[in-house]
Amino acid sequence: MARKNYTKTLVITSMLAALVFVFTYLIKIPVNASGAYMNIGDCVIYCSGLLVGAPWAAAAAGIGSALSDLLLGFPVYAPATLVIKAAMGLLCAVLTKKGGFGWFAGASVLGGAVMVAGYGVFEWICFGWSYAVGTIVFNLIQWAAGVAGALALYYPIRRVAQALKLSKR
């Protein structure tokens, strides 16, 4: 990658990490007394694959989400969030590179499945089976909201990628 493109991609990735953080930190819905919350940061994670691709989307997703967990007072979740959200970003970036809207929709759905499964396993290991089962419904709602938002933003984000000469399509 030429130095100019590397710098542009690094700056855009940093901005995407900041957007993931803001959409996770500021736009949240508390779901239980323990402080767990739903957010729409996943929408930005799915869209980041369109803009910067892998591994940049993974970095933006993991860093922005983990930082939000740390600043919201959930440090126990931060390492899991870093890995789970980075995996979502990476998967979406790799799959969206293959094609158009259909690939993006499929990548977003699979990315959400990674989130639900990843947090399910993490919560089962750390907090027990009943806690993990109790949070699945909220993770499914977050999954659906994130996918719906990302699909609504597909065409505008694709145009931004083309305008910034980030996309080969």
What span, in angstroms and rounded, lies between the C-alpha atoms of 13 and 15? 5
Could you report the per-residue pLDDT of 26-85, keeping only the tens digit for each?
988 877 656 667 788 999 999 999 899 899 999 999 999 999 999 998 899 999 999 999
What is residue 35's predicted lDDT score, i.e. its pLDDT? Answer: 64
SS3 sequence of the chain: CCHHHHHHHHHHHHHHHHHHHHHHHCCEEECCCCCCEEECHHHHHHHHHHHCCCCHHHHHHHHHHHHHHHHCCCCCCHHHHHHHHHHHHHHHHHHHCCCCHHHHHHHHHHHHHHHHHHHHHHHHHHHCHHHHHHHHHHHHHHHHHHHHHHHHHHHHHHHHHHHCCCCCC
We report the CATH number of the domain holding residue 38 as 1.10.1760.20
User: Domain for residue 168, yes or no?
Assistant: no
User: Domain for residue 81, yes or no?
Assistant: yes
Domain membership of residue 8 as a residue range: 3-163
Considering its fold, how many domains does the chain have in total?
A: 1
pLDDT confidence tier of residue 169, bands split at 50, 70 and 90: very low
What is residue 68's predicted lDDT score, i.e. its pLDDT? Answer: 95
Could you report the per-residue pLDDT of 112-168, keeping only the tens digit for each?
999 999 999 999 999 999 999 988 988 998 999 999 999 999 999 999 888 887 655
Check: CB of residue 28 under 8 Å from CB of residue 138. Answer: no
69's tokens: 């967990």
User: Domain for residue 131, yes or no?
Assistant: yes
pTM: 0.90
User: Domain for residue 169, yes or no?
Assistant: no
User: Domain for residue 12, yes or no?
Assistant: yes
Length of the chain: 169
